[in-house]
Each structure stands twice: as C-alpha cells, then as structure tokens.
C-alpha cells in the first residue's frame, strides 16, 4: 500500500512538471524541438529525412506516453480512492471494535468484582454454616443429655412410684360395716353383761383388717387411725355402744329418753401399734334396734402411718 502511494505521488509530480511546461508557453513543436536537441546531443547529425521520421515518431510516442500516464493515473486514483474508503471503513470497524473491547473489558471487570463479592459471600455463608453446624451439634448433644437425664429420672421415678404404690397399697386400710344383714328390724339387748357387737353387713374392707365374724379390727401397720360408731334405739331403754382398744374403754355413743327414737354417734383417733385391736361393745341393760336401713354402724381407716 505504501509503495503504491509513493508511485502515485511520483507520477503526479511528473505530470505537474509537464503540464507546467505546456502552461508556460511550450507547445508540442517546442517540446519536440527540445527533445530533438536533446537527441542531437546524444546522437550524431543525420539527414533531413531521418530527422523528420524521428520527429514524427517522437510526437507519436509522446501522445501514447501521455495517454498511458493519464490512464494509469486514473486507475491509480480510483484504486487509492477505493483504498481510502476501505481504510475509513476499517478505521470505523476498528474504532467500533475498540469500543466493544472497552465495553467487554468493563463488563469483565464488573463480572470479576461480582465474582469476588460472590466468593466473599460464599465464604461468609460457609463460615456461618460451620458455626450453625457446631451449634446444632452442641444443642443435639445437650438435648440428648437432657433426654437421658429425664429418662433416668423417669426410670427412677417409675421405680419410686412402683414402690410408693406398693407401699400405698400396704397403707390403704379402711373399713365400714352395718350391724345386721337381715331385712326385717330386730332388737339387740338388753343383756346382763356387756357383749362385743359383730357388724356383719360389710360395706368396705380395704386391707381386710376388719373381721366381720368377730367384729374386731386388727391394726396391720403402726399409725394413726380414725374410728366412729353410731347407735339407734327406742325409749325408754337406753341405747349405747362403746369403742374399746385392747380391752380398754375409750369412748361411747349413748342416748336415752323416756320414749320415742334414740340415736347417737361418737368417734376417736387412736395411735395403734401393729397387732393392736379395736372393737365395739354393747353395755349391759342397754338395747339397740337395727334394720335394713343400717341404723348402727362401725367404721375406721388409717389416717397416716408412723415409723
């Protein structure tokens, strides 16, 4: 490309010189004479015929040379013009590519920044996840330990409850009984001596500490017991029933009036040792009346055990 431009410049210079000579007053004859003079200097003198032929050939060669130069110049000018257009297009393309490259470079830079930020975020998340995993393992370990403790406590509590239930079953002592099972009403007494009343109509006898055949309660545990007795009679004969512990009189339920119905009740809390007995006795010359209404009752239960 550079060589072509240089050649074009040389041709333009040559044409400018020739044109200048023509514009300066030289016509074709003068040019021919100059050429002949120049040729005369270089070649020996010839005949007139030869000079005429040489002049004619020189003029023809001049026209052909000048025509070829103009044609070459036009071709070179067109080529240069086309190359200039191509160069402008290439320059525009290069400029556009440079812009695209700058944009791509900016995009790549931005992407690198985003990647660094994402990398930092991922690293931070990994750190957080590791911390959470560590905390979760600690919590799981703590929960498992607590569960094991609770299971141990439950196991111990279960054993304690079983023992306590067993102990409570041993401590569940209560009874209640009516005097007679008969549906018809009957008098009991009066007698010349005291008698032990047997309450045969048993309502409750937890622990089987009361014997309905003998009417005697025998303490299976040491503890505080509550006992109550109730009596019913018809006047004028007194009605009474006394609670005894190990043969000793403790309290009595007593009622008396000249006529009509009599009723009374009484109770007591006794400290009993294992094997102590409690029962009810009807006093002499006293009378009670009973029926299916269970007017006379004897009951007792363990308040709490004692060690």
Q: Which of 16-20, 30-34, 35-39, 106-110 has the highest mean pLDDT?
A: 106-110
Q: What is the pLDDT, as a whole number, of residue 169?
A: 60
pTM for the whole structure: 0.47
Average pLDDT over residues 275-283: 96
Report d(CA 215, CA 206) in Å as an integer. Answer: 15
Do the beta carbons of residue 252 and residue 241 sit within 8 Å?
yes
Q: In what order do the strands lie in the sheet with 174-178?
A: 201-206, 174-178, 297-305, 223-234, 261-272
Distance of CA 186 to the CA centre of its chain: 79
For 125-141, write each residue's pLDDT tens digit.
998 989 989 888 998 89
3-state secondary structure of 275: coil
Interhelix angle 48-171/2-23, rounded to 10 degrees, is: 150
């Amino acid at each position: 490309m550079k060589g072509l431009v240089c050649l074009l410049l040389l041709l333009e210079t040559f044409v400018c010189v020739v044109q200048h000579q023509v514009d300066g007053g030289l016509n074709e004859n003068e040019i021919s004479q100059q050429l002949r003079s120049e040729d005369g200097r270089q070649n020996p003198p010839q005949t007139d015929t030869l000079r005429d032929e040489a002049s004619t050939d020189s003029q023809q060669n001049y026209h052909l040379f000048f025509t070829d130069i103009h044609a070459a110049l036009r071709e070179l000018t067109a080529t240069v013009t086309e190359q200039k257009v191509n160069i402008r297009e290439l320059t525009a393309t290069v400029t556009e590519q440079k812009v695209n490259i700058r944009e791509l470079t900016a995009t790549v830079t931005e992407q690198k920044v985003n990647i660094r930020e994402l990398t930092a975020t991922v690293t931070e998340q990994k750190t957080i996840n590791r911390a959470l995993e560590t905390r979760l393992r600690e919590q799981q370990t703590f929960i498992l330990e607590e569960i094991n403790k609770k299971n141990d406590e439950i196991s111990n509590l279960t054993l304690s409850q079983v023992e306590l239930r067993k102990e409570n079953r041993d401590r569940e002592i209560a009874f209640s009984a009516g005097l007679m099972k008969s549906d018809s009403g009957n008098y009991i007494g009066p007698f010349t001596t005291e008698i032990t009343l047997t309450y045969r109509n048993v309502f409750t006898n937890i622990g089987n500490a009361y014997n309905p055949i003998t009417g005697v309660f025998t303490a299976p545990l040491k503890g505080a017991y509550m006992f109550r007795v109730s009596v019913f009679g018809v006047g004028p004969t007194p009605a009474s029933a006394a609670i005894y512990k190990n043969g000793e009189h403790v309290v009595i339920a007593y009622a008396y009036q000249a006529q009509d119905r009599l009723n009374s009740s009484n109770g007591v809390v006794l400290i009993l040792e294992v094997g102590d007995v409690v029962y009810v006795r009807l006093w002499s010359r006293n009378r009670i009346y009973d029926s299916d209404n269970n007017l006379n009752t004897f009951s007792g239960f363990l308040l709490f055990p004692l060690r």
